[in-house]
Amino acid sequence: MKTIEEITRYYGPQLAKGAFELGAIRLSPNDPFTWASGYRMPIYNDNRQFLAKSSYRALICDAFSDMLAALDFDPENIAGTSTAGIPHATTLADRLHKPLSYIRSSSKDHGLQNQIEGLGKNGSYEGKKVVLIEDLISTGKSSLQAVNAIINANGLVPYCLAIFTYGLDAATKAFEAVEPKCEPFTILSYPVMIQTAVEVGYINDEDAKTLHEWREDPFAWGANHGFEKVER
């Protein structure tokens, strides 16, 4: 059986190349993107672009399925984060013939005011084993909101599987603090993404150095490089 490390080493570079091809990951250290927060950042990620090709949707599903096997975890429910995690959770649930649910960032303000859909009349996981499917782990805040929603709905969620992560310290600390424990794993890591970008000629070594510097202090990086925050 493959280990998690072997799985990410196999799928990660393939996914990185697909991300560059489809524009799911864009790198521009010399002309940074302006994020919604106003901060200037050298990377932009939109994993919804993977929906455009069935081959990449299948690749992501293959990787998640192999990860579950490596973890020896047979979930009784596949939960996706709304909205970007839903299509990949759906593909995985269909592959594994498992029930599917999805988690909003907050409860609806009308109707039954559900935060989680797909649980039936009682709105509970009833102590079942759940795996959370996420598209991106950034600071970990939104992922852990979903984790806590599952826990509050009486679900057991020891793992969160995601397509990509920036590998920020904030996310590491956030997941370490959650109880009961939920361990995150991603198909593509930030270092593998940078390495692949250099190998395919998307960026050069100097760009790679700058992108590694960004991860050390992402919210100060722009100002430190002459790209001030855009006030909205």
**Binding-site annotation: residue ranges for 5-phospho-alpha-D-ribose 1-diphosphate:** 104, 108, 110, 134-142
Phi, psi of 102 (to 5 degrees): -140, 155
Q: Which uninterrupted H or E stretch holds 33?
A: strand 33-34
> In sequence order, what are the beta bridge partners of 161?
133, 185
Q: Rounded to 5 degrees, what are φ and ψ at 115?
A: -95, -30
Q: Residues annotated as binding site for orotate?
A: 138
Q: For residue 131, which phi and psi values (nearest 5 degrees)? A: -115, 135
> For residue 152, what are the contacts with CB-CB under 8 A and spacing of at least 6?
none
Cα–Cα distance, 217 to 230 (Å, whole number): 18
Task: List the binding residues.
Answer: 104, 108, 110, 134-142
Amino acid identity of residue 13, one-letter, is P
Retrieve residue 43's tokens.
């990377």
